[in-house]
């Protein structure tokens, strides 16, 4: 299952005892590059772009799914699966039934193939969580839990607050309430294919260290306080980029290098920092694309990905 990358422009942090109510409000866009996840028979391993990893959000999604199955009528589920006569599903179900609490006993591999690295503000960890959640929920007929498993896992790992909700929705997404239940506005963009989103990754930045630090939470929430209303009043890509730049600058999250690159890109529709990464992004029309590319060292050109589960 392909899950798009997601760039948050600005956000406000909400913490709650309930992981599912913890999250962020704010706004972002999903991209036509992201993560594809598959489940295959194997030796209980998780792979990210060919490397064996212990990826927290992926592991937590599997645990969420196991706990859920543990509390559900297993026999009914099992007979459904057996009827489908699918070898992988059958093996998976046996392993899950026998080894609820031991991830190491699973007889399958999770394979993530990503266009972007982890830790660069492109929602890669959220895309892994949502991808594995879709795949597992498909196997266990637990589709109603896809979002819960993935959002809960991201929050628990401290790797994201709003990415999963936005990635599930797809497009230019304004998150009006934190976490679940979903409360978002998906903005319709005319001639969406005329826009390019150009991404320049400068380095890594661990989301965890910012969203769990009291000083950063204060700064972020003070600056973002009225940005959501401003965007809702005028929900255009230009306004989104301008508010995102204000957020990046006024919170102090943007480094001098990021600010200087954004200044160089001021002829575009807008440029800012991809939250929460050491990454710059800008939105431009085709006529400006060559000029944008000439300014950046390793630009990655994307389009806005508008598919999703918005109703
Ligand atoms: N190669 C890796 N294997 C496993 N985990 C990784 C690897 N590289 C980074 N991580 C972890 O992945 C998570 C990335 O989360 P985050 O910073 O939110 O990234 P993103 O912006 O891509 O969502 C962090 O918990 C980080 O420790
Ligand atoms: C900005 C962030 C808190 C983290 O995003 P990332 O670094 O891409 O995981 C995001 O989840 C959000 O709530 O908007």
**ipTM of the complex model:** 0.97
Question: Global pTM?
Answer: 0.92
Which tokens sit at 174? 């304004």
Which residues fall within 8 angstroms of residue 9, CB to CB, at 6 or more apart?
26, 27, 28, 29, 240, 241, 243, 244, 247, 272, 275
The DSSP symbol for 123 reads -
- Residue 70: predicted pLDDT: 81
CATH 3.40.50.300 correct for 2-175: no
User: CATH 3.30.230.10 in the chain, residues?
Assistant: 2-175
Q: Are 289 and 268 in contact (CB under 8 A)?
A: no
User: CATH 3.30.70.890 in the chain, residues?
Assistant: 191-302
Distance 302 CA to ligand 2 centre (A): 19
Which tokens sit at 257? 């290098």
Cα 258 from Cα 261, distance rounded (Å): 5
| CA dist 58 → 72, 162, 277 (Å) | 21, 16, 20
Tens digits of pLDDT across the chain (311 residues): 999 999 999 999 999 999 999 999 999 999 999 999 999 998 879 999 999 999 999 999 999 998 898 887 555 555 455 454 455 554 555 555 444 344 445 578 999 999 999 999 999 999 999 999 999 999 889 999 999 999 999 999 999 999 999 999 999 999 999 999 999 999 999 999 999 999 999 999 989 999 999 999 999 999 999 999 999 999 999 999 999 999 999 999 999 999 999 999 999 999 999 999 999 999 999 999 999 999 999 999 999 999 998 76
Cα 261 from Cα 292, distance rounded (Å): 10
Angle, CA 275 vertex, CA 165 and CA 226 arms, to 5°: 80
| Architecture of the domain defined by 191-302 | 2-Layer Sandwich (3.30)
Cα 168 from Cα 210, distance rounded (Å): 24
Distance 82 CA to ligand 1 centre (A): 36
Which tokens sit at 74? 């297993």
Distance 30 CA to ligand 2 centre (A): 12
Ligand 1 pocket, 118 CB below 6 A? yes
> What atom of ligand 1 comes closest to residue 122's alpha carbon?
21
Which tokens sit at 297? 């060292």
Angle, CA 122 vertex, CA 116 and CA 126 arms, to 5°: 95
> What atom of ligand 1 comes closest to residue 124's alpha carbon?
22
């Amino acid at each position: 299952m392909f899950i798009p990358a997601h760039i948050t422009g600005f956000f406000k942090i909400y913490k709650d005892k309930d992981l599912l109510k913890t999250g962020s409000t704010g706004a972002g866009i999903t991209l036509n590059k992201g993560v594809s996840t598959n489940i295959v028979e194997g030796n209980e391993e998780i792979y990210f772009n060919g490397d064996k990893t212990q990826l927290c959000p992926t592991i937590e999604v599997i645990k969420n799914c196991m706990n859920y199955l543990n509390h559900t009528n297993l026999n009914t589920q099992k007979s459904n699966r057996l009827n489908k006569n699918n070898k992988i599903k059958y093996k998976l179900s046996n392993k899950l039934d026998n080894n609820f609490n031991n991830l190491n006993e699973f007889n399958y591999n999770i394979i993530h193939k990503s266009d972007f690295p982890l830790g660069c503000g492109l929602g890669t960890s959220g895309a892994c969580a949502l991808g594995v959640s879709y795949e597992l929920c498909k196997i266990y007929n637990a589709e109603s839990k896809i979002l819960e498993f993935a959002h809960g896992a991201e929050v628990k790992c401290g790797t994201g607050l709003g990415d999963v909700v936005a990635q599930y929705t797809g497009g230019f997404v304004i998150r009006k309430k934190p976490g679940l239940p979903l409360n978002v506005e998906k903005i319709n963009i005319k001639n969406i294919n005329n826009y390019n989103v150009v991404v320049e990754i400068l380095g890594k930045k661990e989301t965890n260290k910012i969203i769990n630090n009291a000083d950063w939470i204060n700064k972020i929430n003070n600056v973002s306080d009225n940005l959501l209303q401003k965007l809702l009043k005028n929900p255009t890509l230009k306004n989104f980029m301008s508010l995102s730049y204000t957020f990046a600058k006024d919170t102090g999250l943007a480094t001098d290098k990021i600010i200087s690159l954004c200044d160089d890109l001021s002829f575009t529709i807008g440029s800012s920092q991809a939250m929460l990464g050491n990454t710059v992004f800008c939105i431009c029309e085709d006529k400006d694309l060559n000029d944008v590319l000439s300014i950046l060292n390793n630009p990655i050109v994307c389009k806005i990905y508008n598919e999703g589960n918005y109703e």
